[in-house]
Chain A
């Protein structure tokens, strides 16, 4: 063992903080080295000085203040309402049970509200239908309802055709938009919506789409209207309910 290592181990010798082998080596070194042996004696004096200091003196007033402050703080904390975290720490099972109950109650409440609301809505619809039937009940013995398919007028049909062809124009390829490059049989169209067909105009299919506005206008004076959408977007069933003229 050299002196540097001995210097590092010397503070640990006196209080028995060294391992057995280290103690043996250091003892051997102290026999051989006078300087380290003197240093070891200095450490002995230092430990004597350290142990002579004894305990620190604190008066009872010091401790009394500490205890009073602690106890008053404890009483204050106990008086406060426990926070959820404190509840959780004190009794996690009970807190978990309460949380589950609250969640179940909340869900049940929402379900009940939802059911009540939808029931009220249905009732309102039903009552309004009944009211309509009652109010618009014709005095005659004639059938109160008719099912009619209303055809749109020619103008609206034309507008619908133009719109559909304008949409077709937008879908045309660049080649087909140009009359020079368009092939025979292609549809030639212009941006302004005027559409013409080079050779063979597309066959006009009878538009069976109902004009609701027209139907409403036509029947406004005589009937209320209930529309029924069908799977075919071009066909709607209008249920006309005759008004009570009285």
Chain B
């Protein structure tokens, strides 16, 4: 299995290095065709090639690793089930992203009905982050990648679902506005509104948290 993973990653890297998007698509197409014919090994390779993106989007949309894992499983099952209906003349990734977004929306709804907090990065974690960053030892390391990542994750987790989806697809997955609109099934103007609002909210949240952190650390230094 590890050999296969390496094989697919190498295959992806080779095509990416060559800069041949067409060749890259052809690899996916070959895997899709074999998977359609019932080749589970090809489908496993397809999963390996796309699992990082699926898991990342699911985690950013749902805010917890357990939910992301459940979502990834459901996504791949839906992909396998609906693969026969996939139009091979179109790109695979937007189709995959649409499934991920739909599955995550269903899971988020289900969790909301159960009364669970969709966002696991709650107030406690936020305070913990402030405590860590405000201590004199870590004050200079505030810009460390891990904390920055956590800060952004917390900010993204607080966005409304539609804005969060558009923001993640545009700014993390780097889809164009047009592609995001296609994935979400909305107009480009709507996507721009969502993205604008989401970026403003995330920026405000980060600034507020950083200013709170700085204030606390200043008090502790006194």
Contacts and interface: CB of A to CB of B under 8 A. Distances in A.
Interface of A: 7-9, 11-12, 15, 17, 42-43, 46, 49-50, 52-56, 58, 60, 62-67, 69-71, 73-75, 89
Nearest to A49: B148
Nearest to B177: A17
Contacts of B170: 15, 17
B177 A67 contact: no
Interface string B122-156: 00000000000000000000000100110110000
A50 B171 contact: yes
Nearest to A9: B196
Contact of A12 (B47, B195, B206): B195
23 contacts: A11-B196, A12-B192, A17-B195, A17-B196, A42-B207, A43-B199, A46-B199, A46-B202, A49-B151, A50-B152, A50-B202, A53-B148, A54-B145, A55-B56, A56-B55, A58-B51, A58-B56, A62-B55, A66-B72, A67-B51, A70-B73, A70-B80, A75-B40
Contacts of A66: 47, 51, 55, 69, 72-73, 76
Given A11-B196, A46-B206, A65-B69, A70 B52 contact: no
A56 B199 contact: no
Interface residues of B, number: 40
Most chain B CB within a 10 A radius of its CB, from A8, A73, A74:
A74
Instruction: Name the residue among B2, B59, B76 with the largest chain A CB count within 10 angstroms.
Output: B76
B93 to A, nearest CB: 16
Contacts of A53: 145, 148-149, 152
B77 A73 contact: yes
Interface string B41-62: 0011001100110011001100
Nearest to A90: B84
A15 B1 CA distance: 39
B148 A63 contact: no
Given A62-B55, A62-B69, 10 more contacts: A11-B197, A11-B203, A17-B170, A17-B195, A17-B196, A54-B145, A58-B65, A60-B5, A64-B1, A74-B80
B206 A56 contact: no
A63 B55 CA distance: 8
B196 A67 contact: no
A120 to B, nearest CB: 52
B91 interface: no
A241 to B, nearest CB: 76
B200 interface: yes
A43 B80 contact: no
Contact of B152 (A9, A49, A58, A62): A49
A8 B40 CA distance: 48
A74 B39 CA distance: 11
B48 A67 contact: yes
